[in-house]
A and B are shown apart, each in its own frame.
Chain A
Amino acid sequence: MGLEPRVLAFTCTYCAYAAAEAAGVSKLQYPPHIYVIRLPCSGMFKSYYVFKALREGFDSILWSGCHPPYDCHFINGNYKARVKAELLKAYLKQLGFEDQRFRLEWISAGEPDKFARIAKEIVEEAIKTPKIIFLEHHEAVNK
């Protein structure tokens, strides 16, 4: 109980969310463990969301936005996401978290099959990695 993997997917309205919706409309199968959150642009995904999601018990996080260079509705949002993701990966790696817990992918609105494939992959990987539970601050004094 409670051991089912949970994957949080941040998607941008214009590409990745449209792809997720198209995957649903065209009846492509992907696992139900993926929770899709819709945000205006990949450039406004906050790094804090990733830390918070891991802390709250999500097993892995998918960031997805429009393909560089020209797909982004806001011109350079995906470039900003790319830099943030690179730094986040390095930060999480130094804190000992596995690489597969955080993933950045470019999915355009016309690629529902890609969204379904990545959702399957990421959930399969999440099943293989152990579930993590964080200790609270006051638990540090328990011996």
Chain B
Amino acid sequence: MTISIGIISLAYCAGCELALISMKRFNELLARGAIDIKYSTLITDKEELEKVDVLFITGSIRTFEDVETIKKAYSKASKIIAFGTCSCYGGIPGLANLSKREDIIKSIFNDITPTISGLPELTRFVIPLQTVVKVDYSVPGCPPPEPLIEMLLDSLISGKEFTLPQKSVCEECPLNDGDKKPLKELRRRLIALNDIDVDKCFMKQGVLCMGPATLAGCRALCPSRGAPCIGCMGPLPSSRDQAADIIDALGGIFYTVEPLEKILEAIPDPVGLLSMFTLPYSTIPYHKEVGVKEVKRDGDGD
């Protein structure tokens, strides 16, 4: 039996697609004829998406063209997979939710209105696919880690359910020694990374690591290779706000830091660092000026 797959791409960098098609397991299945790529913007030369069994959607919704693409593709697949953090949680393009779309265009075109007609218009803010379209499976990661893609391919071929892990990166991390003492120091990540021991927990050396609030599945890829976790796998399935989770974790770990300003000095860009990949998916998904309507009160509280 051959499973036909299609890969469509919205606002993305082609990394997820590349991670999928460069995987050993995927190529084995392709060579055996178990999988057939019917449509992909990166590697096939087809104009239109035909009917497929499984549709991988990578990237978040940023323009009205993306909206149209989704509308056309949605009915053509029996299974839809949100592939990669961008389509699951908004990803790096989601940080554009900190600015209004007029300001984004202004900063790129520098006050000159683009004269080419037919450019797709930007949506009001970046939307993660999951929040507007019903997806069968979501596979986060930037790009999705190999063990997770393998699990997904196995489940597609055998017909079993695919489930995400239910634990955090710290539980998989080889640097985690289970010691839960409060810590006295938090430093700016870039400065601290010059003089740390890569064989010890990053948090213990005062470096912000997103491990406690990030979904496992990558087998602690970054921490075990000398870089702190930046949270690309998004929040745990039980939660929606990665930032809220990491703030709670930091409160529990660094409550003995004196003075308090040191914590803020170490995290100069809270939104960019604490919800780098998940801003459009979180409870407050945008800057107040982007998507909040303000209603003036009379003043007498009536």
Q: Which residues of A contact B (CB under 8 A)?
A: 3-5, 33, 43, 46-48, 50-52, 54-55, 76, 79-84, 86-88, 90-92, 94-97, 127-128, 130-135, 137-143
Contacts and interface: CB of A to CB of B under 8 A. Distances in A.
Contact of B247 (A76, A87, A137): A87
The CB with the most chain A CB atoms within 10 A, among B67, B252, B280, B296, is that of: B252
A80 B253 CA distance: 8
Contacts of B289: 96
Contacts of B132: 137-138
13 contacts: A3-B302, A47-B244, A54-B283, A80-B251, A83-B263, A84-B251, A97-B288, A127-B301, A128-B299, A130-B294, A131-B296, A135-B124, A138-B127
B12 interface: no
A91 B270 contact: yes
A82 B251 CA distance: 8
A20 B291 CA distance: 35
B292 interface: yes
B293 A140 contact: no
- SS class of chain B's interface: helix, strand, loop or mixed? mixed
B247 A140 contact: no
A80 B301 contact: no
A133 B247 contact: no
A87 B257 CA distance: 13
Given A33-B301, A86-B264, A127-B297, A141 B292 contact: no
B295 to A, nearest CB: 4
Contacts of A88: 247
Nearest to B284: A51
Contacts of B240: 48
B291 A132 contact: no
Contacts of A131: 294-297
A48 B240 CA distance: 9
A117 B27 CA distance: 69
